[in-house]
Structure 1
């Protein structure tokens, strides 16, 4: 395998999403990343190779987008990975559930929450995108966003209380907000403390 050619295997039931209607998603990835995709729907193998201008091909980003779609993201959400500095992390929940289907279902339920509340709150507090698919949790965003969301997901998977996890994320967001305020505050201007922001959705799960 050369640096101008990589192959990854995706779940076969996600190949349709990668191709898109009339090949539209495949075409978008090829155009945005300057690559060529060869997709085998029988095996789920996806070959990503450099386009006509190899030096302008972004194979690593194309791979992240394909991987994100393969783990449950829509193209619209996965395309966030086109932004410079954004990344993708995939957590295998078998690290916590082993091969127990009942434990996997329980852990996924904790991460998703009732009517998707837990996932939505973590997304809102971190700014990352999260997809829970099969035994995986895929997380996309900036390095800092992904790190915070991954820590939250792993803590929930380990049995951590939702309220505690949300509190840590809220504290992180408040600290980041204060740092931004310091950068924009004029010399001599007093620091304003608006107090903690409410947790999205309120309450716990």
Structure 2
């Protein structure tokens, strides 16, 4: 039986995790066959496996669903992590710009873009969900697509012009389409 897990999310995200009348918390518990103990004052969460848990990865998946909600994703998007193909990747902006609040704010602005355009382009080109929250940029998608989105975000963080990042994404999108087409042809 997997062990109990402990984690903490920002206090302002606890309400989203619990949901209206506890519906989100209940849904997570039902989907993963785990029990959540949420400490609203601190944001501390305990994940305990239940007796009817079938998937040995349930506690691990629950941890990442909660982490995703804590990093700004909607519960609906976080539930994609129930699928074994999807992962959560978190980029810490401090790794690129240090602790300067001004620098973090500037980089978040570059990643989001005017009226959210850059973030939306990365999402559309890679089919990866993106959340810019606090000092992090979080990604939910399959491994290959996350690598592309992450590379594009790191290019932005390293000062590459948006136009160059968009060209990179366009090239990668074409490569993915070609690969998917080849896989379909091979299966026939």
2:39 corresponds in structure 1 to 40
* 1:183/1:97 CA distance change after superposition, 3 Å: closer
C-alpha deviations, 1:15-69, integer Å up to 9, x for none?
Answer: 0110001001101110111110000111111111101224445011111110000
* 1:56/1:185 CA distance change after superposition, 3 Å: closer
Runs of 5+ consecutive residues of structure 2 not aligned to the other structure: none
Query: 4+ residue runs of structure 1 moved beyond 4 angstroms?
Result: none
Within 5 Å, which residues of 2 pair with 1:32-181? 32-56=31-55, 58-181=58-181
- RMSD of equivalent CA atoms: 1.6
2:17 corresponds in structure 1 to 18
Check the 8 A contact 1:87/1:142 in 2, yes or no.
Answer: yes
Runs of 5+ consecutive residues of structure 1 not aligned to the other structure: 187-205
**Structure 1 CA distance for aligned equivalents of residues 71 and 184 of structure 2:** 39
**Structure 1 CA distance for aligned equivalents of residues 47 and 70 of structure 2:** 14
**Structure 2 CA distance for aligned equivalents of residues 55 and 78 of structure 1:** 20
1:200 corresponds in structure 2 to none
TM-aligned CA deviation for residue 173 of structure 1: 1.2
C-alpha deviations, 1:137-177, integer Å up to 9, x for none?
Answer: 11001111111111111111111111111111111110121
Query: Between Structure 1 and Structure 2, whose CA radius of gyration is higher?
Result: 1
Within 5 Å, which residues of 2 pair with 1:182-197? 182-185=182-185
Check the 8 A contact 1:156/1:165 in 2, yes or no.
Answer: yes
TM-score, with length taken from structure 1: 0.86
Check the 8 A contact 1:4/1:54 in 2, yes or no.
Answer: no
User: How many pairs does the alignment contain?
Assistant: 185
TM-score, with length taken from structure 2: 0.93
SS at match of 2:159: coil
